[in-house]
Amino acid sequence: MGARAPEQTLSGARPRGVWNVNGNLVVLGVALLVWGLLFLYLLRLERRIRDLEKR
């Protein structure tokens, strides 16, 4: 995950072809991860409640 660094001159430090992490993609990744974990937690909770209701 990442975006290609903007092309720069030799004196501008970053060599071509280096991949930098894009801040927006990091935020997107964290948001998707949090949503995935919350979803799994809710599914697990629902299964437990169903077991409790069956008892």
By the criterion CB under 8 A, which residues form the site for another protein?
A: 23-25, 27-28, 31-32, 35-36, 39, 42-43, 45-46, 49, 52-53
Q: Determine the longest span between alpha carbons in the chain, in angstroms.
A: 71
DSSP 19: E
* Choice between 15 and 39, CB closer to another protein: 39
* Choice between 2 and 15, CB closer to another protein: 2
Q: First and final CA of the chain: distance in angstroms? A: 46
Work out how close the CB of 31 gets to another protein at its nearest, in angstroms, rounded to a whole number: 6
